[in-house]
Each structure stands twice: as C-alpha cells, then as structure tokens.
Structure 1
C-alpha cells in the first residue's frame, strides 16, 4: 500500500488555563525537512518534538505549528510601563499629537520594540505531556490523510498500468506487420537496383538487418516491468523510490521500442505509452 506525502493533521487540547493547538502539514520532498513555529518558551523542547515528527512522517516538507492561547487569569506577558511612557512622550513631541488622541498613540507605542515582554518560564511537565499527546493525535490525523490520498493514487496507477498493458498488446499485434513491411521495403529497394543479387547472401543480410529492428526483448522486459510495478504497488510496504526505479526501466524499454519501430502505426502507440508513463511519473513525485 502506498501513502502520499501530502497530508494535514490538527489537534487541540484544553488545559485549565491554556488552549493548545497543533497543526502539521506535509508536502512532497526527497528528504525530511521540518519547519517549526512555536512560542519562544517551548523552544527548549523543540528537539523532542522534531524527533516525534521524524519517527512518524518518514520524509516530506513539513510545517509544524504550535499555538498556545492563555484562557485563564494567569499570564506571563507584561507591559513595560516606563518604556511605553517614553515612547508616547517622544511620539507626542514628534508629531504634535493632542492628548485627545492618546488612545491611538498608546496603540502605536505598544507595537514598538520592548513595549511588551514575556517571561520565558520553563514548560511544566504535565503541560508538555499534553502537548505530546496533541502532536501524536495530529500525526495520526495526518497519516490518515496520507493513506486516503495514497489509495486514490494507487487506483490511478493501476488504471495507467492497465492502459500500458493494452497498448503493449497492440504493439505485439502490429509487430509482424511491421517486420513484413520492413522486409518488403528492402526487397523493393534491391529490385529497383536492377542488378543480379546472390539470393543466399541477400537473405543473410536481410536477416541481419531485420534483427537490428527486432523488439522481442523489449516487449518481454516491458511486460515484466509492468507486472512488477503492480506487484510492488500491492506489497504491504511499498515505497515511492522503488516504484520510481521501475518506471525508469519502463521508460527505457518504451524509448527503445520507439527508436526501433520505424513503422507509423507502432510509433503512434509508443507516443500513447509515453503519455501514460509521464502521468505516472508526475504522480510518483508525491509518493512516500
């Protein structure tokens, strides 16, 4: 079963005096890349939180957001009165603002540096335990999202592989006609020379020339790759990198068939095969 690298998970925990919200969003990436946003007092626990995410995510570009809203009377935020007064005095003097506009002046002063400070108190263990539980729940939700996305992608992959198998069947059906067409062209070319030709030598050269355009091996290998892709897709542990390698081999065989075909009906089929494979490769970038 495959999983998408795209996912979203959210969890909220209500403590006596705080509301904690965790959001985790993931997108496709070759490796694990975690970006975190959280209040400064929780940075001491960041490595622990990153490890939790890494164990459950695998790989992908991950945005982790921790928000804490104080709902009780207790707060660690304080207004620096003296600094705010100094800001207001300077602003009033600079812009000649009247006392009637003090409310607007206060709003500006509070937005300036050092007007408000937050005590960086240590995170209580019981609070951090609640945060860990919220992270685990968000990760479960995210991986559930990834699984559902993976099921949709798996269905699409199987449809594309089925189309490739049908196109390969058509290639096999038109191949005898292609070879006969090639043989006829060579015989006609020799007749146009209006010269006597050693029949045995001509037959040897004809066989040698036709063998250069033989695609029997490519047809067999492509059929095997298509079957192996489905087998890997249905495996309990299925990875995007392995499926990516198989799709590369499929592309190599399709390209070789195209370069050897030298026959318009077959080349048309090859173009259709390349189109289906390209759609598979686009989706492949998002598989975990």
Structure 2
C-alpha cells in the first residue's frame, strides 16, 4: 500500500505543523550553516530549490548582501504560501517550480542551494543536470541530505515504534525517502551523471535535536511530514494513536521532560567548472 508518490505531497495541515515543529527540531540547526557557506562567495543571483517553508531562505536573506537576488522555489505551492506568509528580512522571489524542469535560462545563477530536498526528487541525476544547466561557470550546487536513519535518533525511534501498528503493511516513508539517500558513492555517481565532473566536497555533520517534550518530535514526524499520508492511507482514524505511540517510544528512550537526540547529515558542494 506504500505509495512513493505521496512522499512528495506537503499539503493540508502538514505545512503549518512542519514549520511549527519540524523546522526548529531538525532543520534550523543546518539552515544557517548552509547559508554561511555561500556568504563568502561573490554572488549576484541565488536559486533555492525545495525551499519548503523558507527556513534556509530566511538565513540567505539575512546573511547575503542586499544586492544578491534570491529566487526560492518549491514543487508544493502550500509550502511556498506559508514561506511567503512567514516572510524574510528583505524581498525574495517565491516561485513554484519542479527541480527536474527548472523554468530558468541557462547559466543564470551563481549558486543553487537545496536543504534536505534532493531525497524527494524522483530522478536525482536529472535534477542535478538541471541545477548545472542554470549555473554559471564557476557556480556551485550546495545541498544537504540526511544520513542513514540509524544516525538520526528521533526518526529511527518513531519508525521502529510504528511498525507494530501496521504489521501487514509497514510504514516505510522515513527510511525510504528522508533517510534513503545517504550513500556518498551513489550521490557522487548521480552528480557525475548530472554533469558535475569534479569530485564534490562532502562534510558529514552531527548535531543535536532538542525539544521540550517527547510530544513535539512525535507531532513533527507523524503529522508534519508525508509520514502522515502513509498513516492516513492505511487508516485515517489511527493518526492520533500513531502519534501517541511515537511519543511514548521517544519518552521511553530519551526520558520525560526535555528530550535530546542525535541528528546527522551530509553537506555537499559541487562546482560547475565550465
């Protein structure tokens, strides 16, 4: 009953729950660092793909000089609508776009940035090829992907806790998609197939995911990601129960009150040399 196509759907109440819970839980820690990697480069125009609700966009707008234009895109219009509503410190252009078919001219950006979105692209090499196409010579593609699920403790705990709920049709979203594109050799191959001939720089960075209670990561993962789509596709009435099961498992592993779990990601920078 698993439907990988539903992995790409961030609609309904997901965007607001994603912004309220998941962004501070796991995305904020990496967003500023990603933007900082571009701050020292000479840039005129930056493209962000899979911008989600705009956590990286906000840091780009704050850290990059005001004369650097920023175009932030996402496949899911509801995510962009919320990103625009939350806003940025200076104007950016919000635009719905498919990363595998970018509506921009060749060699029109100095950098393409994507935080934790590549895993959702059905054809990674094609998306990399599109990024390379819109980059100027000397431009960079900068993106992040989560490491294997075992290195991301809240996600791993939630995934394991929900298995008994659906024994005949297990929920595979977390391991399949957010944590399914961690192999560096595969990423390097896809980059080469996308036209990036120079070996990328890869940094593996661990951080801590901290929440005031176990309820927060349970809500974040079960209701603020497409894991919710998987749960509701099996039995819509079990969403609340699944969230409670996840909360109990997190509390059992990390304690009651404030919880603190490891997260880990790969940060990859590939340059278009010609």
Q: TM-score, normalised by structure 1?
A: 0.26
Q: Which structure's relative contact order is higher, taking Cα pairs within 8 Å and 6+ residues apart? A: 1
Q: TM-score, normalised by structure 2?
A: 0.27
More strand by share: 2
